[in-house]
A and B are shown apart, each in its own frame.
Chain A
Amino acid sequence: MAKKVLILVRKGPYGTVHTTDAFRSISGLSVFGLQVSALFSDDGVYTLMKNQEPSGILMGPLDKGLKPLKDFGAKIYVTRECLQMRGISEEEIEDVCDRIIERSDAVTLLRDSDVVIPY
């Protein structure tokens, strides 16, 4: 039976390579038959924002990579509290989330995963 892997994205989309690496893990591990979910929390929620234009810092827009992750079969979750704390409305994020979850649901998601890989 395929293991359940949760990729925890807690850092902003730019400034470090971690979120890019998280995307690679999400797609790659999905391809190799694992049940992959991604939870965007803390500054990781900025990754979900629409209309990113990071060309000025020589980076590609990560929001454009979100839908392909869904195509690989990954589930995407974001914590409501983290969005609210940063003043981000649901309308401002890409329509890719399977669910916007409460903190208690995040705990359940972490607990029910076989493996958690934090980025």
Chain B
Amino acid sequence: MGKLGIILMTSPYEYENSNTVLRFVEAVLKKGHEIAGIFLSGDGVYNANKQIESPVGVNVAEEFKKMAAKGVRIVACSACSTFRGMPPSLLVEGVSLGGIGDLAEIIQQSDKVVTFSV
């Protein structure tokens, strides 16, 4: 079984990446693989905004919260969050703020890293 790292660089509700990551991680875990971590970078930090409300479709932030509750490590880039006015209090439960050192750690621990960007 392998260990995967994921980098998500895009915001939700603009690109399909967020939904793809959610389904991808679910499939990875179902197959018995592990997730070393998900790193939310750039606009990707918006995926963890607890103020997201989705009148239709999936509430992405809630889904990431559920994923974190299952033990998946999810880190939002601290600098990216600061630039975008996303204080720690806006993050959904289970998602932590971290730096490039966390990304380096996820990369080092992963057999493969999959990046979802523009």
Distance, CA A27 to CA B107, complexed state (A): 15
Answer yes or no: B100 CB below 8 A from chain A CBs: yes
* Contact partner, A29, options B42, B79, B107, B110, Cβ 8 Å: B107
Instruction: Tell whether A3 pairs with B100 under 8 Å between CB atoms, given A17-B42, A119-B117.
Output: no
* Contact partner, B103, options A18, A29, A118, Cβ 8 Å: A29
Whole-angstrom distance between the Cβ of A87 and the nearest chain B Cβ: 26
For chain A, give the interface size range: 20 to 34
Distance, CA A2 to CA B118, complexed state (A): 27
Distance, CA A79 to CA B8, complexed state (A): 26
Instruction: Tell whether A118 pairs with B115 under 8 Å between CB atoms, given A3-B107, A17-B42, A34-B107.
Output: yes
Distance, CA A105 to CA B89, complexed state (A): 46
Whole-angstrom distance between the Cβ of B66 and the nearest chain A Cβ: 27
Chain B residues near A18 (CB-CB < 8 A): 42, 118
The answer to whether B117 touches A2, judged by C-beta atoms less than 8 angstroms apart, is no
Answer yes or no: B92 CB below 8 A from chain A CBs: no
Answer yes or no: B95 CB below 8 A from chain A CBs: no
The answer to whether A117 touches B115, judged by C-beta atoms less than 8 angstroms apart, is yes
Interface residues in B32-86 (C-beta closer than 8 Å to A): 41-42, 79-80
Interface residues in A1-31 (C-beta closer than 8 Å to B): 2-3, 5, 17-18, 21, 24-25, 28-29, 31
Chain A residues near B5 (CB-CB < 8 A): 115
Interface of A with B (CB < 8 Å)?
Answer: 2-3, 5, 17-18, 21, 24-25, 28-29, 31-34, 114-119
22 inter-chain pairs at a CB distance below 8 angstroms, sorted by A residue, are A2-B108, A3-B108, A17-B42, A18-B42, A21-B42, A21-B80, A24-B100, A25-B100, A28-B101, A29-B100, A29-B103, A29-B107, A32-B100, A32-B101, A34-B104, A34-B107, A34-B108, A115-B5, A117-B7, A117-B113, A118-B115, A119-B117
| Among all A-B residue pairs, the 4 with the closest Cβ atoms | A28-B100, A32-B104, A115-B113, A32-B101
